[in-house]
Amino acid sequence: MFTPTLNFRLNTSKINKEGLAPVYLRVTINGTRSEISTKVYVDPIKWDDRKSQIKGREPRDIRNNKILFDFTTQIYEALDELKNRRFDITAANIKLALTGELFKKTTVIEVYRQYMDYLQVRIGSDFSPSSYEIHKTTFDQVQEFLQHEKKEHIAIDEFSNPNFHRLEVYLKKYKENQHNTVYKKIERFRSMFKWAYEMEIIDKDISRRFKIKKQKKEIIFLTWEELEALKAIDTSIERLTVIRDIFVFMCYTGFAFKEIESLKLEHLSRNINGGYGLIMTRQKTQKNIPEIPLLPEALELINKYQNHPKRIREKKLFPVPANQNFNAYLKEIADLAKVEKNITTHTARKTFATTIALRNGMSMEVLSKLLGHSSIRITQESYAEMQQDRIKDEFDRLKLRLEEGIRISQNKIANQN
């Protein structure tokens, strides 16, 4: 598999002023081929094409034949170097290895480390510690993949489409990631290639050739009836009451669990209309979000816990437990409310977007800002089906208004007659 076919040949189309032609070595290996200049020039009359060497016993002929023999040895040394460094065995790489150019190339891991350093510097400005940790997990798994593939030293501009496909398979097979998780990890990995291109480390962003699509997932949210059923459950168990109240608060604000967990009194503001709102920074993106006016249901829940020991001691708006326990308790609450859905903290955010916001006329632009999405496209893709429901509702209302208008017009005409 790794044995090259070597053939010296005289290129008579490039004869110089002295009437000498250059000798090239043709290397063929693993279905690839490359022509390498030996820097040896020969009188075409003295070239033995069958033996691929120079005829004659003159000192110059002997010296040039030795150069060609040594050149063959160098090819095998370059091949051994490629194997040791775990580079792809190709004729082009052998040619680059001869000059040492291949090993001067920047590897994927070297550039990825630089990119991770760049992200770390941004923490606290426009990048959150949690986002960095997510990127760090992807970086570690890419490293593991390259070790698995024996390609720790692969140059960044050689990480071609087949490598991306193998990375996708590796994450699914060995890391047991679902498709959308793999999609997110590869998108993070590709952000490194985009950065490397912008920093002029590579001449082109080859990652753009790889195509992977995010699979559409069913949006799990509570209907108005299910939300009311949760609010109505009567429990004497305090921990379940607290969990239920926090979950309902999330349904009326759209905040993620991490944000609810960090909510303090200082985030509560009195707005110019006399009502109350929340002002804070989006945990995931470190972006300031517009002040969110509090609906009466949400404000009532905040007031409910104003004398809670944790509120007094830590100035937290809610006594929020660990997320793992939170989701476990939510299953109990769903059973009590006879809600046959596997609800989690994220269900509350989806409930706000659908049942509370979109189905009550909130525009997609405003919802996108409240959810902290980086672009409205993300919101539109996530809630496309809900948007279709809104279009139908709008047309139903339009139909009723038109019918009412026609009736009024007909009555006027009838009265005139």
Q: Using one digit for the tens of pLDDT, what is the confidence trace for 144-166?
A: 999 999 998 898 988 989 999 99
Q: Using one digit for the tens of pLDDT, what is the confidence trace for 212-267?
A: 888 877 778 899 999 999 999 987 888 899 999 999 999 998 888 888 888 888 88
Quick one: pLDDT band at residue 46, thresholds 50, 70, 90?
Answer: very high
Query: What predicted TM-score, i.e. pTM, was given to this entire model?
Result: 0.52
| pLDDT at res. 235 | 78
Topology annotation, domain 224-382 = hpI Integrase; Chain A (1.10.443)
* One fold for 108-209 and 224-382: no
What are the tokens at 236? 């004497």
| pLDDT at res. 176 | 94
Residue 396 has pLDDT above 80, yes or no: no
CB contact at 8 A, 346 and 331:
no
Give the alpha-carbon dihedral of 369, 373, 374, 380, to 10 degrees: -90
CB contact at 8 A, 42 and 64:
yes
Give strand ranges (E) for 95-244: none
Architecture of domain 108-209: Orthogonal Bundle (1.10)
Domains of the chain by residue range: 5-104, 108-209, 224-382, 388-417
Measured CA to CA, the distance from residue 325 to residue 332 in angstroms comes to 11
